[in-house]
Amino acid sequence: MLLKRGITGFFDKGVCPLDENNYKVFKQACYSFHMDFWNLNNVCDPDNTNYFYGHFTSNRQDLYILLNKYYPIAAFTNELTMNKKTFIDISENLYILGNYDIVRAEILNAAFTYSEHNLSKAELHQIKYWNPTSIGNIIFNEWD
């Protein structure tokens, strides 16, 4: 998967950050998903991540829908472990999530290679420092 400049939320000095996705639209999508499949616990726009997330439960199982703050890329995981998420695919009909690109777990769980990207120097510096475990952990990160 080609990672586009700015997807990590880190920007070179003097470069304007990208516009963020609309949190309210994501929150509405989470409420729609909740009504059909899962119980919604909360929807968050945390300060120290580059993603929004909705937290759901069903039969004591956790599900998180993650949305990158800068690109309309969404994914699913069962646990929000800092920079060590394992991504999953779900079988529910995802038309409710609208115009977000749901990336398959196979792609997100793959190892990052430095040759396949369009990232800035600042982003590459942060990746080397934090050493994330997968492509997904670059797209959905908690780097401070």
pLDDT of residue 144: 60
3-state secondary structure of 62: strand
3-state secondary structure of 119: coil
Question: How many CB atoms are located within 10 Å of the residue 55 CB?
Answer: 17
* Residue 19 and residue 66 in contact, taking contact as beta carbons nearer than 8 Å: no
Please tell me which residue, 110 or 58, carries the higher pLDDT value.
110
Per-residue pLDDT of 67-125, as tens digits, reads 999 999 999 999 998 878 999 998 776 666 778 999 999 999 999 988 878 999 999 99
